[in-house]
Amino acid sequence: MLRVLLIVITIFIFAIPLGLPAMLFCWLIGFISADTQAEVSLVYLRLLMAAILFLAGTRVKVSGTDNIPQKEPCLFVCNHRSYFDIFLQYQYIRRICGTVAKAEWKKIPLLRTWMKFIRCAFLDRKSLRSGVAVTKEVEAELNAGHAYCIYPEGTRGHINGLLPFHEGSFKSALVTGVPIVPVTFVHTDDIYENHRPFVRVVTVSVVFGKPIPTKGLDRAAQKALPAQIHKQMEETYFSLV
């Protein structure tokens, strides 16, 4: 329980005494450069996430970081098992990279502002209009040369494997023709979700797969792509559990 208490205290310190001045600074930077605002915000948030992972005692086995495109736009496709997936995502993707998040996060003061600073898009999973708007937002980021991250299962999975992918999640990559980088998280739910409210010391795995091209695919190949990526990621998952 001590780890949980230390994490809560750390989040409070980063959110209020340190966070409010940092947020004001990043807000002012936004008047000069939106990209610089995102980069500076990511530096601050990565410090918080690294602190939380340290306090949780999380040990990470990461592989395939050489598969992460450093400059060209791409879409990272991740499985989702834990809140900690997001922390790990941002520790290893060291560039501007927004994330599609559920609309409920937009209701949380301070957090929603930081999420906007780092280009996150808020998806109302019950609204078709929201889905279209988010897809356009992701496409704009990809066309601007940035990376984006999606969790096509749509929610955290608690089965031994991956939940089915929502095929519409891949539309932005297919429209813009950017490569897709599969990212597989293993055992991250053992940090917290499998025994909440406690945090446990565990070893997790993060695997970045080789980029999968999407440019020039015919209609049949586009339709088959989500299942192809799901199969590849599930094989990676089961090789490590």
DSSP β-bridge partners for residue 59: 203
The whole-number pLDDT of residue 133 equals 93
Yes or no: say if 203 and 230 are a contact pair by the CB < 8 Å rule. Answer: no
The whole-number pLDDT of residue 126 equals 82
The whole-number pLDDT of residue 1 equals 82
Fold observed for domain 59-238: Glycerol-3-phosphate (1)-acyltransferase (3.40.1130)
Main-chain phi, psi angles of 163, to 5 degrees: -70, 160
- For 12, other C-beta atoms within 10 Å of its C-beta total 12
The whole-number pLDDT of residue 204 equals 98
Instruction: Give the integer Cα–Cα distance in Å for 60 and 203.
Output: 6
The whole-number pLDDT of residue 95 equals 93
The whole-number pLDDT of residue 2 equals 87
Main-chain phi, psi angles of 12, to 5 degrees: -60, -45
Write the CB contacts of 132 (distance below 8 Å, at least 6 apart in sequence): none
> Domain extents for the chain?
59-238
The whole-number pLDDT of residue 160 equals 87
The whole-number pLDDT of residue 136 equals 95
- Is the whole model's pTM more than 0.85, yes or no? yes
Write the CB contacts of 189 (distance below 8 Å, at least 6 apart in sequence): 81, 82, 156, 158
In the predicted model, residues of the chain with pLDDT beneath 70 are: none
Instruction: Give the integer Cα–Cα distance in Å for 91 and 185.
Output: 13
Main-chain phi, psi angles of 238, to 5 degrees: -70, -20
The whole-number pLDDT of residue 104 equals 93
What residue has token string 């988010």? 134
